Structure 1
Amino acid sequence: MRKVGPYGVETLPQVLVDVPAAPPGCRDALVERARLQWRPADGGDPAKLVEEFLAAHGLPLDDLARPAPEHIPDGPCGAALYVSAAAGALLAGAPPGPPNPAPALPEVAVVVYGHAETPPPSPARGAGPWRLGDWQESWTPGQHAAAVDAVRQAIGRGDVYQVNVVGHAAAPYTGDPLPALRRLGALPGARYGGTLTGAGWAIGCASPETLIELTDGRLVTRPIKGTRPATTAGERELRASAKERAEHVMIVDLERNDLARVARTGSVRVDELFAVRRWCDLWQAESTISAAVADGLSLADLLRAVCPGGSVTGAPKLAALDQIAALEPVGRGAGMGALGWVAPGRIDLGLTIRTAAADGERLHVWAGGGITWGSDPQAEVAEAAAKSRPIRATLAGR
């Protein structure tokens, strides 16, 4: 476990705090007070370590059903929380998968913020012009398609019902990557738009998907499953697709089960099913599931129940994670994890789809899709490329 003092970077310059889901009225006044970063070599239970670290810095989250205490003057405002897909797999009792292609990234980070008396100064511009090199894929389209076929074979054997298969690409860069990462948050539909930075690493997020939200004693998750081009024909095709609807309903059932583990008995409900919404140049299907939080539920318990998200793993979740660990050539890094804001009385974590990360040398992106028995390998390869296209174009400055 690495406890780090107020923010300092080695190769990436400082930026104003722009954490996804941070209170809008606070973003221009937040200053870092304390930080914890965790990697598997540090040992321990990362969910419990996060909870204990937050409590030690004035943010008790050991009983999420308890009313939030009154804010203490000069006390903390809240904290950014990042949990990678690999850390989520460990919390679920599954293999973490292949190594992270951006090893500078921690697998868990929590950053406690307070309010500054005066707004922080604007960040200095990075030296040199921004240039993004060619993307190098971690697998070929043929290898991606073969992984889809392998999942279909596993479904045929009865091992799984659905598995989310994700690919990775990296590109070298010169200049300051942070303006490029911050541009992601301005993409249409980026409910969790923003950045999180550390010493030698940064994450930029344009995610539209809620992993878990807690307000007024109610838990909410909004899984997204089903994608088509944002055309009139694409919307019509998505609404009519039996394959996409079946894939979507499987994940809704999985998320209902995840919430039931941490909810008041009998309180889980589906508020909206298969609503078609737009993100950039794509139509996507989203559902809303909610439940009343159980008495005594802690943040650590909640993270163990919902991480990693069902829409980026599959069903059954543990069996899908076994397939993911065996099939994907590199780790998911900053992709398919959780990123957002936590504070007493309010939790809002987005699922890190449509997300990029920078280390000192390269930018990294991840994209994929859910595979069912009815999946066509070539169509799945094309869908992953369509999801990645707006991210790559935005990072390049187009």
Structure 2
Amino acid sequence: MTAYKMWGNEEKVKANPIKELLALYVRFHEEAEKTTGLEDTGRLWFKRLEEGDKEALSLWNWFRDESLKEFDRIYQLMGMEFDSFNGEAFYNDKMDEVVELLNEKHLLSESDGAMVVTLEEHESPPCLIKKSDGATLYATRDLAAALYRKREYNFAKALYVVGREQSLHFNQVFHVLKKMGYEWSEVMHHIPFGMMLKDGKKMSTRKGKVVLLEEVLQEAIKLAAKNIEERNPNLVDKEEVAKSVGVGAVIFHDLKNDRLHDIEFSLEAMLTFEGETGPYVQYAHARASSIQRKGKLEEQGLFFYEAYEDDRAWAILSLLMKFEDVIKHAYNQFDPSQIAKYTIDLAQAFNKYYGAVQILKEDDQQQARLQLVKAVAIVLKEGLRLLGLKAPEQM
């Protein structure tokens, strides 16, 4: 808001909201390093917003609406939907209750003019609830949000998927809820994750050192389309398949890594059809689908023949039997990388089998082999679906 009032241009923001607002945000932080008092002006606007100032609210609503329009477009591209877009400001009128409850439970104490909840018993710094100027903090809003969400959704689990640098903050929030007597705080979990690095360095919105997701997705779709053009120019629904492969490549690249690890951003690494990538797994599924179309599996009856005694077939069967446990472990450990790694292992095992065995050979084992291929296709498709990827039948 401060940056917009000082340097903003309404027409420019309307024409290209995200880039213009980002540029203003970056400029503010550059200027704040040189100009005394600029940060204070920013804090003042924040306080005005909290107090319901008309101009502050009007600007905030405009910035938020424009941002959500852009976000929604990108979420649609990734095939994602949300039931609620309630952000921080939704809880502005719900924070007084938190302060009152903390007061009633005699949990608030004063520290240098600010109101805090002490957490010495957890060997943690105090949780700041209200600053000395009366403004609330993230913790106040997260406490209000937790109370609202428990009443509204009566959740069995509440997962906060936020970068690992916020671990202390969430530990404090959960400890405060426990001190308030809410046993359900024990089913609230912070799911930390590492950073996406560019040239080995942390990206920084404040310094403008970022890669915009939409640009990455569009570039990935373009690269996928180029790949399809070279390998299978007569493919039906080329655009739709390119979208599924390009978007899937970006998502898979993120989810295949242990979530706590930092990842080096590389579009080329994401999109190769070889190695541990989304397109590699999707391609294995497409290959399995193609074999099924050519082979025509007879649906009635089960075919357990010598076909399964082959070492490569047995490697696939062993993996298929592990799928249920992989899902359980991924769920219990909040770790989608286990499913991603599993789909890679299964795709690799299937490709070895495909390369060495004449699956469509007309003999009394053909139906058994086709049954194995069908099982692979089903499990790869489900594994990809759990990760948020589509599984094209042709690529």
- Shared fold per TM-score greater than 0.5: no
Larger Rg: 2
Structure number with the higher strand fraction is 1
When you count helix as a share of all residues, which structure comes out higher?
Answer: 2
